[in-house]
Structure 1
Amino acid sequence: MFLGGAVFTDLYKDKIYNVWVIPGLLTGLILALSQGPDRFLNALTGVGATFLVLMPVYLVKGIAAGDVKLLLSTASFLSFQELYSCILFSFLIAGAISLVIIIFKREKKTLHFAVPVLLSAVLVLGGLV
């Protein structure tokens, strides 16, 4: 649900609001805690690893801060393997969308990264990748 809200605001307001990502992160961590200390530790590790992987991308302006926070929230719900796949496929989908935009629009346009994150999460959680 929080991914859908983030996609909506990203597409229509060009911003991912904290009102979507912070409750999503907290919900993921609380859910993980309710599943036991091992799952909670895995969720924290996933969130931390996501932060470490995405901060250099953010610092070179590869993605925006809202995109980083969105993936941090998503990380709290996923296993480490699912998280790895989600991040990888998010960037692959974003690259494919960017290529289509470049070929057909022939202009530089901002990519709404929430869309690839949502698509990759659906693919990973649906067992399609």
Structure 2
Amino acid sequence: MQVLLFLLLSGAAFTDLYKDKIYNFWVIPGLLTGITCSAICGKSSLIASLTAVGIAFLLLIPVYFFKGIAAGDVKLFMSAASFLSVSDTVSSIITAFVVAGVISLAVLIIKRNKEARIHFAIPALVGVLFSVGGAL
């Protein structure tokens, strides 16, 4: 399942970098695959997966409303959460925001552009890799 999650996030990061958009082509099949795999593993795994998706939504929707991230980023994290536990989801989100902050600071220092946008799929990928990889 981790390989599927990595492919999902990598594809979304690629399209986010080159098309400035996270397509539902990555998000919806990823979400359905994560939930289906969890359902196959049993009722408790399915409940954990759906809880992680809900937690990702509840944590990120306020950030979306304040224009901190785009809707595709929220959907991407919900899709990734379907593969993760609640604790991995929360630590992935926290790590992604730290990575996004570092990238933003670097852009601000190097380019001196306060209006520059970063592609949040990259921090999302890094956050999940750190959480799933056991670094957190």
Bin the TM-score by the shorter chain.
Answer: over 0.9
Structure 1 position 3, deviation (Å):
0.5
| Partner residue, 1:121 | 128
TM-score, L = length of structure 2: 0.93
| Partner residue, 2:12 | 6
Of 67, 84, 89, the match for 1:61:
67
In structure 1, C-alpha distance between the alignment counterparts of 2:100 and 2:106, rounded to whole Å: 10
Q: Within the alignment, does 1:82 sit opposite 2:88 as a pair? A: yes
Identity %: 53
Task: Give yes or no for contact 2:55–2:86 (8 Å, CA) kept in 1.
Answer: no
- Count of aligned pairs: 129
Partner SS state of residue 110, structure 1:
coil
Unaligned runs of 5+ in 2: 1-6
The CA RMSD measured in Å over matched residues stands at 0.6
| 2:123 aligned partner, one-letter code | P
Structure 1 position 127, deviation (Å):
0.7
Q: Deviations over 1:14-73 (max 9, x none)?
A: 000000010000000001001100010011111111111111110111100000000000
TM-score, L = length of structure 1: 0.98
| Partner residue, 1:47 | 53
Deviating beyond 2 angstroms after TM superposition, the runs of 4 or more aligned structure 1 residues are: none
Task: Give yes or no for contact 2:100–2:118 (8 Å, CA) kept in 1.
Answer: yes
